[in-house]
């Protein structure tokens, strides 16, 4: 009699434990390989919280494929890399405004994707404050990728697709990066962020000069640096060449009267203000300004000397003590400044194979 | 394998069938976050019953009239309810845990209109408080805190309640058509969001609704789930104490008109009334 309940116990226990046993029999996976993110010497602490999304080789690799794959767009042709091309420091070289699906024109110039770990906000108007929330914007913008993130996730789940340029197996890649094949918005955005965290530009000629190699600069470049510090660095501040503030630099509004930051905050005092861009790689990212109106660094400096418009929200730093707008610079000053600005170009960054299109992207 | 055997035998020695069954069912394959234990868990249900004045709301068909005499048909009516607090007869307050306190009510999805609160302490409840919208903390939370109805992937063209370009949730989305609608397709679009700004102050259109049950009460017991039935009046979105919104003047109110959207928020503050409790 006594034995019967025990047997029932054992049977019950076995039955109850069937699932975990099966689980246990699966081969032990080692999981994704951690990837160290190294802060360049002299750079501030990053803003992005890497502890919430620690980089792994598999995560970064997945992010790279997602970054370049047109599957993010409604037409399956426009990837992030279409308007953010490596050779132009991840901008859309030669395009004042970028064109998305079906050549629909946007309203702003494609900004450089670099050093995103330090960004306090994103886009020219700072409408997004978190790297992980950035991709929703271009994907859903009707003039960029014109797609729904829910549809992208559906499409990713159905890969590999034999009709693709490269039949990428996304469920497998998500499993390698995150442990299971599940594809959701959190994982998708975190993989994209992981890749973008690796897009660090800190190996320009300027960086060699900065780290103690005085011979890295010519006399003209050194003069340019001095002029830069005197005239430009109050906004294009520090080692990242921006203070991340929003300012009106006196550009005459165009026909669409882009309010910039003002459209985000709804405050009249923010109208026509745009984010101060980093000047790293500025020699590679023409055309310039939020609407791509200037095609060369010469034109940009001519703007600052000659065509800064007086507007209610014009930045006070662009009003001289004598009441004139702009920054006084001689043509010799401008040449030196441009020579200096070109030292911010980072050849290693734009040639780094780890950041390059794995063969999946489209550039137009 | 071995571990599981040990676990099972340990369970065997631990006296009751109930215990052994429950310990084994908590296999490592279940979700990493443990379900909260329903210690004194009762349930309370809030029903959000959308109406237009004294009529039931029917999408895409019935023509209604606002206080400005404008005809309109409703094609979409969605809103967030969050941060729910319940007050007991003794004055104590039960706050629904943050992560379980975001609900998207959609007129086209009947099930969404019934908000069931779990693990509610047993007792007689006499008042409820909730927010229309999504608080600023959750509006600026990392992506892992944006699950379920807060997943930003929803499409703006469909039921999406998230602005990707000016990161933040839409709190109330009312769309419809009217003879006073926009000249292109006769429609009007009211998408009301803005949570107060991430680092610069903007308009804040979240609104806290407090409803006292008066002489009524909602008795939560282990076996009884009271249902608090609210009427939610679309007319109040247009017609408010301070402002009547006219479709003819504003066929589109979204993030670009913060002051106007604030007027609508002041209006929807008053769109909830307690109908009955059963």
Across the interface, of B17, B146, B202, the residue whose CB is closest to A12 is: B17
Residue A42 burial (10 A CB sphere; 0-12, 13-18, 19+): exposed
> By C-alpha distance, which of A178, A152, A189, A66 is closest to B142?
A189
Residue A92 labelled as part of a binding site: no
* pLDDT of chain A, 364 residues: tens digit per residue: 444 444 444 444 444 444 444 455 666 667 899 999 999 999 999 999 999 999 999 999 999 999 999 999 999 999 999 999 999 999 998 898 888 888 888 889 999 999 999 999 999 999 999 999 999 999 999 999 999 999 999 999 999 988 777 899 999 999 999 999 999 999 999 999 999 999 999 999 999 999 999 999 999 999 999 999 999 999 999 999 999 999 999 999 999 999 999 999 999 999 999 999 999 999 999 999 999 999 999 999 999 999 999 999 999 999 999 999 999 999 999 999 999 999 999 999 999 999 999 999 887 7
* Mean pLDDT of all residues belonging to chain B: 87
Q: How far apart are CA A71 and CA A82, in angstroms?
A: 12
The helix (H) or strand (E) run that includes residue B73 is: strand B71-88
CATH class of the domain at A57-200: mainly alpha
Give the chain B residue whose CA is nearest to the CA of A124: B165
Closest alpha carbon to A343 in A204, A218, A202, A213: A204
Range of the domain at B8: 1-30
Same domain, B22 and B66: no
- Any known ligand binding at A17? no
Closest Cβ–Cβ partner in B146, B166, B199 for A127: B166
Question: Chain A residues with CB inside 8 Å of B17's CB?
Answer: 8-9, 12
**Per-residue pLDDT for B86 more than 60?**
yes
A205-347 topology per CATH: Cytochrome Bc1 Complex; Chain D, domain 2 (1.10.760)
- Residue B8 CA neighbour count, 13 Å, CB half: 23
The reply to whether B23 and B53 lie within a common domain is no
Whether the per-residue pLDDT at B237 is higher than 80: the answer is yes
Quick check: B10 pLDDT over 60?
A: no
Are B70 and B140 contained in the same domain?
Answer: yes
Rounded to the nearest angstrom, the minimum Cα separation between B165 and chain A is: 5
Q: A139-148, B23-32, B133-142, B245-254: which has the minimum mean pLDDT?
A: B23-32
Helices (H), A215-258: 219-231
Which element (helix H / strand E) includes A340? helix A331-342
Looking at the structure, tell me whether residues B1 and B139 fall in a common domain.
Answer: no
Query: CB B28 to CB A52 under 8 A?
Result: no
Residues on chain B touching A8 (C-beta within 8 angstroms): 17
Taking alpha carbons only, the member of A3, A29, A304 closest to residue A181 is: A29
Give the angle subtended at the CA of B66 by the CAs of B60 and B71, to the nearest 5°.
50
Cα distance from B199 to chain A (closest Cα, Å)?
Answer: 9
Q: Say what the ipTM of the complex is.
A: 0.82
pLDDT of residue B176 exceeding 50, the answer is: yes
d(CA A99, CA A108): 10
In this complex, the residue of B24, B158, B256 whose CB is nearest that of residue A17 is: B24
By C-alpha distance, which of B145, B134, B138 is closest to B81?
Answer: B134
The confidence score (pLDDT) of residue A363 equals: 78
Give domain status of residue B75, yes or no: yes
Q: B104 by DSSP, 3-state: which? A: strand
pLDDT of residue A93: 85
CB contact under 8 A, B259 and A10: no
In a domain, B36, yes or no: no
Contact A133 B200 (CB under 8 A): no
Residue B170 lies in a domain: yes
CB contact under 8 A, A14 and B198: no
> Given pLDDT bands bounded at 50, 70 and 90, which one contains residue B1?
very low
Distance CA A326, CA A249 (A): 9
The torsion defined by the Cα of A348, A108, A71 and A75, in degrees rounded to 10, comes to: -140
pLDDT at A161: 87
Residues of chain A with CATH 1.10.760.10: 57-200, 205-347
- Shortest CB distance from B165 goes to which of A13, A17, A141? A141
Q: B126 and B15 in one domain?
A: no
Give the integer Cα–Cα distance in Å for A338 and A343: 9
Rounded CA-CA distance B187/B176 in Å is 6
Query: B165 and B87 share a domain?
Result: yes
Record: contact B29-A20, CB cut-off 8 A: yes
pLDDT tens, residue by residue, B92-141: 999 999 999 999 999 999 999 999 999 999 999 999 999 999 999 999 99
Residue in chain A closest to B19 (alpha carbons) equals: A13
> Chain B contacts of A270, Cβ < 8 Å?
200
Cα of A25 to nearest chain B Cα, Å = 7
Give the count of domains, chain B: 2
**B105 assigned to some structural domain:** yes
For chains A and B, what is the number of CB pairs under 8 angstroms? Answer: 129
Residue of A nearest to B153 (CA): A149
pLDDT at B29: 38
- Based on the fold, state whether residues B119 and B51 are members of the same structural domain: yes
What chain A residue is nearest to B143 in terms of C-alpha separation?
A186
Q: Do A137 and B151 touch (CB under 8 A)?
A: no
Full-model pTM? 0.85
- At residue B16, does pLDDT exceed 80? no
| More reliable by pLDDT, A112 or B6 | A112
Q: Which residue of B has its CA nearest to A26?
A: B1
Say whether both B10 and B97 belong to one domain.
no
Chain B residue closest in CA terms to A153: B153
How many C-beta atoms lie closer than 10 Å to residue B161's C-beta? 25
Query: Alpha-carbon distance A305 to A291, whole Å?
Result: 19
Considering only the beta carbons, identify the residue of B1, B24, B167 that sits closest to A133.
B167
Q: Rounded distance, CA A48 to CA A118, Å?
A: 7
Q: What is the pLDDT of residue A21?
A: 47
Q: Based on the domain organization, do B17 and B77 belong to the same domain?
A: no
3-state secondary structure B176-202: EECCCCCCCCCEEEEEEECECCCCCCC
Same domain, B105 and B80: yes
């Amino acid at each position: 009699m006594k034995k019967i309940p025990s047997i029932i116990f054992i049977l019950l226990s076995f039955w109850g434990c069937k699932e975990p046993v099966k689980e246990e029999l699966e081969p032990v996976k080692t999981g994704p390989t951690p990837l160290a993110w190294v802060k360049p010497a002299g750079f501030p602490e990053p803003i992005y919280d890497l502890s919430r999304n620690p980089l792994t080789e598999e995560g970064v690799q997945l992010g790279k494929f997602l970054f370049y794959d047109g599957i993010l767009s409604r037409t399956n042709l426009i990837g992030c890399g279409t308007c953010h091309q490596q050779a132009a420091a991840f901008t859309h070289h030669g395009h004042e405004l970028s064109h998305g699906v079906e050549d629909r024109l946007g309203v702003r110039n494609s900004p450089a994707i670099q050093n995103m770990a330090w960004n306090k906000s994103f886009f020219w108007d700072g409408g997004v404050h978190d790297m992980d929330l950035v991709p929703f914007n271009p994907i859903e913008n009707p003039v960029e990728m014109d797609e729904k993130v829910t549809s992208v996730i559906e499409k990713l789940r159905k890969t590999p697709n034999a009709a693709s340029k490269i039949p990428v197996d996304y469920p497998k890649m998500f499993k390698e990066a995150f442990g299971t094949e599940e594809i959701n918005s959190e994982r998708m955005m975190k993989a994209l962020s992981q890749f973008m965290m690796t897009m660090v530009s800190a190996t320009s000629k300027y960086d060699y000069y900065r780290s103690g190699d005085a011979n890295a600069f010519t006399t003209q470049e050194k003069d340019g640096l001095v002029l830069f510090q005197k005239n430009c660095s109050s906004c294009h501040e520090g080692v990242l060449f921006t203070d991340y503030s929003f300012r009106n630099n006196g550009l005459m509004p165009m026909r669409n009267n882009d309010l910039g930051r003002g459209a985000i905050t709804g405050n009249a005092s923010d109208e026509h203000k745009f984010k101060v861009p980093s000047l790293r790689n500025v020699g590679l990212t023409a055309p310039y300004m939020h609407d791509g109106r200037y095609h060369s660094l010469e034109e940009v400096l001519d703007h600052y000397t000659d065509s800064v418009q007086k507007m209610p929200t014009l930045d006070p730093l662009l009003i001289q003590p004598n009441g004139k707008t702009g920054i006084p610079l001689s043509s010799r000053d401008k040449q030196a400044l441009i020579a200096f600005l070109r030292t911010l170009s980072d050849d290693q960054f734009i040639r780094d194979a780890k950041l390059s299109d794995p063969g999946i992207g489209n550039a137009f | 394998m071995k571990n599981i055997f040990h676990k099972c035998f340990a369970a065997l020695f631990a006296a009751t069938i109930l215990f052994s069954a429950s310990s084994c069912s908590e296999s490592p394959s279940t979700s990493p976050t443990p379900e909260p234990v329903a210690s004194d868990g009762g349930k309370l249900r809030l029903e959000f019953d959308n109406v237009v004045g004294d009529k039931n709301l029917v999408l895409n068909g019935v023509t209604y009239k606002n206080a400005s005499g404008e005809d309109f048909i409703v094609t979409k009516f969605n809103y967030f309810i969050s941060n729910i607090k319940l007050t007991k007869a003794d004055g104590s307050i039960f706050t629904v845990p943050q992560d379980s306190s975001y609900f998207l009510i959609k007129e086209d999805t009947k099930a969404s209109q019934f908000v069931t609160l779990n693990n509610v302490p047993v007792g007689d409840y006499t008042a409820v408080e909730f927010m229309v919208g999504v608080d600023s903390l959750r509006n600026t939370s990392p992506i892992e805190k944006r699950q379920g109805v807060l997943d930003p992937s929803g499409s703006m063209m469909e039921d999406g309640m998230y602005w990707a370009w000016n990161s933040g949730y839409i709190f109330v989305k009312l769309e419809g058509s009217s003879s006073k609608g926009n000249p292109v397709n006769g429609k009007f679009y009211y998408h009301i969001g803005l949570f107060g700004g991430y680092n610069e102050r903007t308009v804040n259109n979240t609104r806290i609704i407090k409803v006292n049950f008066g002489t009524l009460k909602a008795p939560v017991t282990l076996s009884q789930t009271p249902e608090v039935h609210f009427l939610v009046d679309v007319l109040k979105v247009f017609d408010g104490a301070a402002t009547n919104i006219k479709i003819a003047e504003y066929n589109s109110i979204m993030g670009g008109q913060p002051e106007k959207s604030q007027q609508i928020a002041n209006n929807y503050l008053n769109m909830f009334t307690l109908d009955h409790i059963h």
